[in-house]
Structure 1
Amino acid sequence: MPSGTMHIVGAGLAGLSAAVELTRRGKRVVVHELARHAGGRCRSYFEPALGLTIDNGNHLVLSGNESALAFLDVIGGRDLLTMADHAEFTFHDVKSGERWVLRPNDGPVPWWIFFRHRRVPGTRAADYARLGNLLRANASDTVTQKIDGSSEVYRKLLYPVLLAALNCDPKEGSARLAGAVVRGTLAKGGRACRPLFAPQGLGPALVDPAVAFVRKNGGEVRFDDAVRAVEFGEDRVRSIQFAESTLNLAPDDQVILAVPGWVARTLVPELTVPTDYRAIFNLHFKIAPPSGLPKIIGVINGTTEWLFAFDDRLSVTVSAADRFNEADREPLARQIWSEVAKIAGLNAPLPPWQIVKERRATFAATPEQDALRPSTETRWRNLFLAGDWTATGLPATIEGAIRSGDKAAKLAIAKGF
């Protein structure tokens, strides 16, 4: 039996997923994390400007996210999320003031499209049948090469959903990745589209239990442990260099690189990785939502794209947000608050707020960038890759990140670790 150690570089969800899978199988694992906390782009922290604990991003987990739910079951975090009874998604058009609720039925036969009160206003049942075009897309197809970009179902449903999922304008986005999103959720019926909410935050549900699980099962998670370089022999990683030391790997030692794509490229220059990354920003307002406000609202014709209602705050997410990277913060907060107040039915001045920007939140899920995503296996026999930027078959999502880590761990075991 191999007696080596798996060194996992990065304690985001991909790295934690790999560590959980390996430690639950009794493997020796050490996780090396640059930061002083785990979770990467999916973490919770105390924000002094608000006096609240917030998530750095408003990530969404759905009941059809099988890898994420399996991960939660293993680490014991499932009970920290609550699932909606049914798939119901509210949308609000800022320009017209119109509001509607999309209500897919639970089963896979989509009879909901035949009922006007369940579908998008101004659409017909036949419009939804055309979503099947996304399921048959080629690698080079963009969304609007497969779906009519002028249709109401695109403007009022696909555009806001795919903008968030792909983190780029769907007109340039990969139809194949969009099809993967549809295939894993709406095509399975409303039972796969129920949102899960984390009242205490995603960190306590997804991240903290994972770290605790790894440690409980004999693994190590080392924070403030920056990997500076990776040195190779002919066909394997030979050593890992840290700020003040070098770790020479034993013959049975393995490495999973679970850092962002651009970081992986600096450590392993030969890798091909996505090169176009787009920003996402989240704007948090410290104000209790009015009673009855839906927990999630998709916004049409506004700067706001998605509005999330928490017990102690209202939070806005804007994807593909590079255009706001240099924007003055307070005017932007005031502009978005004016929309949020109307959507929520609030007559209140600008409350305490904070903007959290991720300038390179995810790769832009275009056909060109999707083609640059590497596989889990590398030409070095003891090096594997994990991360939402690898070839998961999904856009850069929580589901994709967790899937990638699980895949890397299982592949390493299959290769003899």
Structure 2
Amino acid sequence: MRVIIIGSGLSGLIAGNLLVRKGYDVTIFESHSAPGGYTAGFWRKGFYFESGTLSFEDSASINKMMSDIGLDGKVEFIKQRTRFISDYFDAVPESNTELKEMFLSAFPLEKKGLNSFFRVTDRMVRFLDTFNKPMPALYSGGEEKLRKLKFILSRLPSLFFFKKYQSLTVKEFTAQYFDKESDIFNILTGLGYPDMCSFLYGGVFGTILSDYQTVKTGMQSWADILAENFTKNGGRLNLNSYVERIDTRFGIVNGVTRNGKSFIADFVLSCSDYKKTILKLLDDKIPFRPHEIKALERANVSESFFTVYLGLDLNVEELQKIMKVPHVLLLGKNLSRNFFDASDRDFFRDSTVTLYSPSLINPKLSPEGRSSLMLQAMSPHKWMDNWVPATGRDILN
């Protein structure tokens, strides 16, 4: 049976590897010049940089997936440590306990509120810790059904707790314990993404400290190994191949169109932007109701980041003394700014900045005697449209 996969990110490459192992005829179409998606990276003048995600969690599921496609031990994953810096603290917590102590020491007058806050986030951490096993969907047959049943039953006691907080944003949740104008409020709500679900505090205070991993040789090397294994086992990876349309016939997907040419398939897996898949690629939207289409149009695919990539004339040892760890979070001074106000020209003066050095993960990712540094700030998606002057691209000059 023929399968076409759109996108060679982690999901597309894993799906492709699993399917070719089962004897399917699989082709992956990738619009970029290299595989990777959110795990992509690039080299410039001997320096390696990440262009997508810096880390991942859920290592139990990742390790099982790698084992299932015959690549167990082929990629070296290492723990990603984070340094937190603000006007109130500068620390590299190694556990949930140390992170809480960092806040309690920095804000002694907020002890009562922090203890109440942490009582709830500790439950969130414990709830998310139950996911630190391979997901049931990674199995098949009777074992999958049994694991799904155990998965559901083990979480029933926490269902009410989850329902209570899943609809609250971090700002709504944190406002129950701290004044909205306080520094502690702004710092806590600035740890994650804007208006994210409060339950993700379980990840901030738990997963990031216990199960936050990266790839020693760079994320791109992971994608390259997956791509090489896929083609070695008979799969076809077509790079620079932009899919224009997902074709349907009588309401059933039957292939894709690229450069005006149709490619027939029994199944099409879109492992790319979900909004683009449904709103632009799919030629028949009948299965979706009008309110679902409108909800998709309003949704964000992911947060946008503005990144500066620097190759430093500074050896790794000297940079290590300054940064201490590869990943540093510099919490902004005025985190109360409206993230969604793209007209705010002073936004980046106060935003949180992330420092990341791939060469501190692995000195081989930069030329000898030098080091690499990435400066990142989460950005309002439309800032580049609103800030471009009337003379067009003069801003680049």
Structure-2 residue corresponding to 1:409: none
Q: Residue 173 of structure 2 is aligned with which of 146, 149, 154?
A: 146
**AA of the residue aligned to 1:291:** Q
| In the alignment, structure 1 residue 159 sits paired with structure 2 residue 182 | no
2-structure distance, mates of 1:282, 1:315: 7
| In the alignment, structure 1 residue 67 sits paired with structure 2 residue 73 | no
Structure-1 residue corresponding to 2:83: 90
Native 8 Å contact 1:5 1:29 kept in 2: yes
Superposed displacement of residue 267, structure 1: 1.2
Structure-2 residue corresponding to 1:299: 330
Equivalent position SS for 1:225: coil
State percent identity of aligned pairs. Answer: 14
Q: Residue 318 of structure 1 is aligned with which of 360, 377, 380?
A: 377
Structure-1 residue corresponding to 2:305: 280
2-structure distance, mates of 1:259, 1:67: 20
1-structure distance, mates of 2:105, 2:28: 46
Native 8 Å contact 1:32 1:223 kept in 2: yes
**AA of the residue aligned to 1:222:** N
Residues 44-83 of structure 1: per-residue CA shift (max 9 Å, x gap): 22235xx523221352223x44333434444637554442
Equivalent position SS for 2:191: helix
Q: 1:161 to 1:120 in 2, by over 3 A?
A: farther
Q: Normalization by structure 1: what TM-score?
A: 0.60
Residues 296-347 of structure 1: per-residue CA shift (max 9 Å, x gap): 111112434221133221212212443652668xxxxxxxxxxxxxxxxxxx
2-structure distance, mates of 1:321, 1:189: 24
Residues 91-138 of structure 1: per-residue CA shift (max 9 Å, x gap): 111xx3741333316xxxxx657x735866225443311324784445
Larger helix share, 1 or 2 = 2
Equivalent position SS for 1:23: helix
Residues 230-287 of structure 1: per-residue CA shift (max 9 Å, x gap): 22222411342221422234xxx11111221332121116254353434212222212
Q: 1:220 to 1:280 in 2, by over 3 A?
A: same
Q: 1:323 to 1:257 in 2, by over 3 A?
A: closer
RMSD: 3.4
In structure 2, stretches of 5+ residues that fail to align are 125-160, 333-349, 360-370, 389-397
Structure-2 residue corresponding to 1:259: 272
Native 8 Å contact 2:255 2:267 kept in 1: no
Structure-1 residue corresponding to 2:49: 54
Q: 1:19 to 1:161 in 2, by over 3 A?
A: farther
Native 8 Å contact 1:23 1:217 kept in 2: yes
Native 8 Å contact 2:255 2:268 kept in 1: no
Q: Residue 229 of structure 2 is aligned with which of 205, 213, 219?
A: 213
Superposed displacement of residue 154, structure 1: 4.8
CA radius of gyration, larger in: 2
Structure-2 residue corresponding to 1:342: none
Native 8 Å contact 1:232 1:239 kept in 2: yes
Q: Residue 290 of structure 1 is aligned with which of 285, 308, 319?
A: 319
Matches within 5 A, 1:203-242: 203-205=220-222, 207-242=223-258
Q: Normalization by structure 2: what TM-score?
A: 0.63
